[in-house]
Structure 1
Amino acid sequence: MKLVSRAVFLDRDGVINIDHGYVHMVDDFEYVEGVFDACRSIKEMGFKLAVVTNQSGIARGLYTEDQFHTLTEWMDWNFADKGIDFDGIYYCPHHAEKGIGDYKQDCDCRKPKPGMMLSAAEFLKLDLSQSVMVGDKRDDMLAAKAAGIPIRILVRTGKEVTEEAIAEASIVLDSIADVPEYLKSL
């Protein structure tokens, strides 16, 4: 299998949209300023674009997978309407401690484990050593590190930036809007 592509992986809540806590309805979905222009620039730079998002609200019974899919489809169309196509959207509906029923499991896909990124790499034929992660918390950085992703960008638009998260990141930027300029500087 020849690896030919590199990707920018994006966490959802706190990177693409404002994290209001367990966002699962269109009315509660508020885009981070500059996200569309940033994603368009990233695609123009030749990166594939993939979302990797933990969705423990499903595991906790706060919303259903169908509700998540409805919101995700709406979000995907918003990007497509602006000429931006995601190459993949990966999510983890599990939680090892707080999950209910079949969702209570210690899986390989929930960040800080790298399962979603590894799945994307296999399906999209990615070279993870040439890829980038953009996230708002330590678990995003740890998952990227475990997947062999060297460029780990922590943004300030989500969870409070902790020293532990900073220690695992390559750089801290204000938001996704700053990512294309940073990538061009490398």
Structure 2
Amino acid sequence: MKKAIFLDRDGVLNEVLSSRVKFVNHPNDLYLLEGAAEAVAELSKAGYDIFVVTNQGGVGLGFLKEKNLRKIHDHLIKVIKEQGGLIKEVVYCPHKPKAGCQCRKPNAGLLLDLAQRHDIALTESVMVGDHERDIEAGKKAGCKTVFIGDEETAADRKAPSLHAAVPAILELLETV
């Protein structure tokens, strides 16, 4: 079984609710956060599979078509690849926020599905997110966790950005 890194999308890799973009509804709304592409490149070069795990309730609410969401994710993968990073797969929960599904974080369904399909050892993997729901999903799946931001958190580690979190992520992966 392999170790993997799971990244939330909005607020970890790209801007959301910023001066430039409220929500990412088109590929041209996707602005990577400073150092995010470089961080993914560093983690890729360390030899770990990287997955993006994101809630996309706008699909269920009718604000975003899945066809557009796939275009956004294809663009994200391309932009990261241009900087030397490799995202193996992007998975998302398309359901409304109160739908009660098992895939919407803080539930662990997306992580459990990826683990089964890609032979991932969840207890030896890391979930990175900027909301406590991301951390909760990671913990439910058995992962180590890294919180991006400065709020209080139940995560194993905390950093102000994904780029700043790279040493902590690698340390957690090397100690399990």
CA distance in 2 between partners of 1:116 and 1:184 (Å):
22
* SS at structure 2 position matched to 1:67: helix
Q: Specify the alignment match of 1:141 in structure 2.
A: 135
| CA offset digits 1:14-72 (Å, max 9, x no partner) | 00001124312123211111111111111122211000000001111111111111111
- Structure 1: tracts of 5 or more residues without a match: 98-104
CA distance in 1 between partners of 2:8 and 2:117 (Å):
18
- Letter of the 1:11 partner, please give it: D
CA distance in 2 between partners of 1:131 and 1:185 (Å):
11
Shift of 1:79: 1.7
CA distance in 1 between partners of 2:97 and 2:41 (Å):
36
2:119 to 104, 116, 125: 125
CA distance in 2 between partners of 1:133 and 1:185 (Å):
13
RMSD: 1.5
Map 1:142-157 onto structure 2 (within 5 A).
Answer: 142-149=136-143, 151-156=144-149
CA distance in 1 between partners of 2:132 and 2:28 (Å):
28
CA distance in 1 between partners of 2:115 and 2:63 (Å):
30
1:114 to 108, 119, 129: 108
Q: Normalising by structure 1, what TM-score?
A: 0.84
Please tell me whether the aligned partners of residues 128 and 148 of structure 2 are also in contact (alpha carbons under 8 angstroms).
yes
- Letter of the 2:14 partner, please give it: N
CA distance in 2 between partners of 1:131 and 1:184 (Å):
10
| CA offset digits 1:63-120 (Å, max 9, x no partner) | 11111111111111112223322112110000253xxxxxxx3211000000100111
1:181 to 161, 167, 170: 167
Q: Specify the alignment match of 1:54 in structure 2.
A: 55
| CA offset digits 1:153-186 (Å, max 9, x no partner) | 1102xxxx543xx1x2112201000122223445
Q: Specify the alignment match of 1:13 in structure 2.
A: 10
Q: Specify the alignment match of 2:94 in structure 1.
A: 93
CA distance in 1 between partners of 2:72 and 2:97 (Å):
24
CA distance in 2 between partners of 1:185 and 1:79 (Å):
23
Q: 1:93 to 1:48 in 2, by over 3 A?
A: same
Q: 1:13 to 1:92 in 2, by over 3 A?
A: same
CA distance in 2 between partners of 1:184 and 1:74 (Å):
26
Runs (4+) of structure 1 exceeding 3 A deviation are 183-186
After TM superposition, the structure 1 stretch with the greater mean CA deviation from structure 2, 9-18 or 76-85, is 76-85
* SS at structure 1 position matched to 2:53: strand
Q: 1:111 to 1:62 in 2, by over 3 A?
A: same
- Letter of the 1:169 partner, please give it: A
